[in-house]
Structure 1
């Protein structure tokens, strides 16, 4: 699956926390989130996998909430799973 065009990205380990082995569906979601365009190209988000549940939060920066929404959407496309929104 192609989710975008490669650009300078942070390593996946800096953008997510997973207790144990990373499931395939989560890795695919992260790969798409990493390729997602962000307003300031800073990738200021953190995805966490805990007991098969994904949470995501912004890590600061200008337009961080907008960037978070973009990353979440791309994660959903790549993983094939909907994230629960508050």
Structure 2
């Protein structure tokens, strides 16, 4: 389903590669969650999560937890409407 809305939040896996995306999100007021390795600046994101952004297992673990939390929050929101 395509919409013309801005995303509610953006998750960034590699700050160095996605620096321009982080800047655009800041300009547009889109909150960001970023996996922050030792070579990253935690102040660039609204929510920083310390993690190794070089390994797939670390990325999968954190993204699975985020997806679970988002789904749980969405179901609670829908149930309490």
TM-score normalised to the size of structure 1?
0.27
Q: RCO greater where, 1 or 2, for CA within 8 Å and sep 6 or more?
A: 1
Structure whose CA Rg is larger = 2
TM-score normalised to the size of structure 2?
0.28
